[in-house]
Amino acid sequence: MSPERLTAFSDGVIAVIITIMVLEIKVPGEEAGDTFKALVPMIPKFIAYLISFIYVGIYWNNHHHLFKLVRRINGSSLWANLILLFFLSLIPVTTAWSGEHYMSKAPVMLYGIVLMCCGIAYRYLVVTLTKCVKDNELLSEGIGDDFKGIISVVIYLMGIIAAMFYPPLGIVAYAAVALMWIIPDRRLETKIAHHKDE
């Protein structure tokens, strides 16, 4: 099977996820008034929205780069992709909770656990696509040993543990992983470029 509909469906789900997050940012109520001061309590929520928008954006970017090198998919990769979408769909609600309670350990740890699950699910998707499906040799070469993916999970774990003692440290760790990934996977981009030249 070719991956056109899988990418179209994933685009749809990710587009809805990235957009419904903004529904969490509510208009200040009547009692809060209509001044710039009314916006001050919304700042942590806004920052949480910004971080999660970047995260979902990163996943969309990497998903986009990944499937540029995928020629065929099978039933297992459809499910691996759905598992990734499932964990991505949990980002909005955990974002909203830790945006409201960024000084509390439970919300910040839960946010880190969901981000780590996303990372593992993405890795599982890559493994499924490279190991179980023929015709994706190009991808296997492009991905290599996935040093960045392993490092991310380690930093997530460190962030989750750090959040047990001082929650904002966890958020710093998650932001560090985001920064590391903002640069799209150069290995794949190089591979795609080489492939097109041949």
Would you tell me which residues interact with its own copies (CB under 8 A)? 1, 5-9, 11-20, 22-28, 34-36, 38-39, 50, 53, 57, 60-61, 64, 67-68, 74-75, 78-79, 82, 85-86, 89-90, 92-93, 96-97, 100-101, 104, 106-107, 110, 182-184, 189, 192
Q: How far is the CB of 127 from its own copies (least distance, A)?
A: 19
Contact (Cβ atoms closer than 8 angstroms) between residue 122 and residue 62: yes
Q: How far is the CB of 164 from its own copies (least distance, A)?
A: 11
If the CB atoms of residues 13 and 154 are measured against its own copies, the closer one turns out to be: 13
If the CB atoms of residues 135 and 154 are measured against its own copies, the closer one turns out to be: 135
Q: How far is the CB of 155 from its own copies (least distance, A)?
A: 21
89-109: b (≥16 Cβ within 10 Å) or e: bbbbebbbbbbeebeebebbb
Pairwise CA distance, residues 31 & 170, whole Å: 33
Q: How far is the CB of 137 from its own copies (least distance, A)?
A: 18
The sign one gets for the Cα dihedral 105, 108, 111, 113 is negative
Residue 10: which of 92, 122, 156 has the closest Cα?
A: 122
